Structure 1
Amino acid sequence: MLRELFTLWRDRGSRLARSLGQDREAVSIDARYRRCRAAWQPHLEATRDLILDAARAAAGRELAMVLGSGACLDVPVAELAGQFRQVVLVDAHHPRPARTLAAALPNVRLVAADASGLVQATLDAARGRAPLPDPVPRPEVLPGLRPDFTASVNLASQLAIPFYKLLPRRVPESRRQAFYRGIVQAHFDWLATRPGKTCLVCDTAWERADGETVLDCRDALEGVVLPPPDRTWIWRIAPRPEESPAYDRQNRVVGYLDFAAVWPAPGLE
């Protein structure tokens, strides 16, 4: 705990990152990774392999963009930097390991951005200044860039979570749930309309398990249903006794090598 507090103290995020809790989350992820490194390794390798396989199919070699890069545990940054003239890593908070890695690779750039594009609109709604966006618009993430390859990496299931606290309880639950679902849907719609090749890796379910027996399961995508994926695997995110001596916590993960080919997104931009 003291190590986590010290890490947070020396690596506080921007105002955006603090409003979303992303700097604290980055510290928690790093601490859990150190404790559960062996259990995480198959997931990290499967994610990196899928990203590289998808990137090899990109027609152009100018620009790759990765959303949800975090500490780059699951992103093959050096390999992408060797394949593309420029690599842009996008996250609300870039922790120290990501900054160190980018500093060593001259064609890698870090961009801090709200991937949902909804923080300010949500704060305005929470303060009674405006209604919640309805429908939820597709985000504009670095709209001036036209990447040859875009990857959304273990991000989609996390997008709505910061808004659980940002939205006050006076907003009806049905409206909040529709908003959360809209955030995820809008992200998929945005990803599918990017130029070039698009790749998606994300959780679809969060489970507690005892061996092969699933004790309970929670939808990770706010009710949005994805088409059949190219690959699936289990991320043993908290093997016992990390969270409890009675069960393991695991995520069901899906991967798409060409997301735009399978997602029925409305009209291209």
Structure 2
Amino acid sequence: MLRELFTLWRNRGARLARCLGQDREAVSINARHRRCAAAWEPHLAATRTLILDAAQAAVGRETAVVLGSGACLDVPVAELAGLFRQVVLLDAHHPRPAGVLAARFPNVRLVTADATGMVQAARTAAKSRSPLPCPVPRPDPLAGLAPDFTASVNLASQLPIPFYRLLGRRATGTEAEAFCRGLVTAHFDWLASLPGTACLCCDTAWERVDGPKVLERLDALEGVALPAPDRTWIWSIAPRPEESLAYDRQNHVAGFLDFAAAWGAKGLD
């Protein structure tokens, strides 16, 4: 706990990260990774492989963008830097390890941005009880950048989480639920609309398990249905005794090499 507090003190996020609690979350993620590194490695390796396979299929070699880069545990930064003229790592908060890693490559830069574009709207709605945007508009976190390759990495299921906290008492209403579901849908619509190749890696379900017995299963995407993925795997995110002696926690993960094609085909079903 003291180590985590010291890490947070050394690497407090900008206003956006503090508002979303992303700087604290980054510290917690890195601490859990230290404790569960062996259990996490198959997931991290599968994610890196998915990103590289998708990136190598991209036609252009000018710009690659990674959304949800975090500490870059699951991002093959060196390989992407060798494939593209510039690599943009986008997140609401960049932990110190990401900054140290990016500094090794002159063509890698960090961009701090709200991937949803909805933080201010949610804060205003929470304070004034004004309506939440419906439908949620597509975000534009790249500010006009036209990437040859984009990867959304373990991000989609995380987008609504801080908004439930931001919305406070309104977080339990159907309007808030529709808004948070809209955040996920808007992210998918935006990702599929980008030029170049778009890759998606995201949780689809969260489970508590005791051996083969599923004790609890939660949808990770607010009810948004995905098409059939190219790859799936299990992320052993909290093996015993990380959270409990009574169960292990695991995430179901889906990977798409060409998300635009898959998302578009879903609309034709």
1:170 and 1:161 map into 2 onto residues whose CA distance is 14
Q: Helix, strand or coil: the match of 2:75?
A: coil
1:186 and 1:265 map into 2 onto residues whose CA distance is 17
State the match for 1:123 in structure 2.
123
Instruction: Say whether 1:258 aligns with 2:254.
Output: no
1:154 and 1:184 map into 2 onto residues whose CA distance is 12
Q: Helix, strand or coil: the match of 2:243?
A: coil
State the match for 2:202 in structure 1.
202
Instruction: Say whether 1:102 aligns with 2:102.
Output: yes
Instruction: Say whether 1:27 aligns with 2:39.
Output: no
Equivalent pair of 1:209/1:250 in contact (CA under 8 Å): yes
1:45 and 1:17 map into 2 onto residues whose CA distance is 27
2:7 and 2:48 map into 1 onto residues whose CA distance is 26
Q: CA deviation at 1:97?
A: 0.3
Matches within 5 A, 1:1-269: 1-128=1-128, 130-170=130-170, 173-264=173-264
Q: CA RMSD in A?
A: 1.4
Identical amino acids, percent of aligned pairs? 75
Greater Cα offset, 233-242 or 206-215: 206-215
TM-score when normalising by structure 1: 0.97
Q: CA deviation at 1:265?
A: 8.9
Higher share in helix: 2
Structure 1 unaligned blocks of 5 or more: none
Q: 1:130 to 1:74 in 2, by over 3 A?
A: same
The one-letter amino acid of 2:53's match is: D
Q: CA deviation at 1:264?
A: 2.9
The one-letter amino acid of 1:179's match is: F
TM-score when normalising by structure 2: 0.97
1:139-190 deviations in Å (ceiling 9; x for gaps): 0111321000000000000000000111132466111110010000000000
The one-letter amino acid of 1:145's match is: L
The one-letter amino acid of 1:67's match is: L
Q: 1:77 to 1:171 in 2, by over 3 A?
A: closer
1:162 and 1:225 map into 2 onto residues whose CA distance is 21
Greater Cα offset, 7-16 or 166-175: 166-175
The one-letter amino acid of 2:9's match is: W
Equivalent pair of 1:232/1:255 in contact (CA under 8 Å): yes
Equivalent pair of 2:139/2:187 in contact (CA under 8 Å): yes
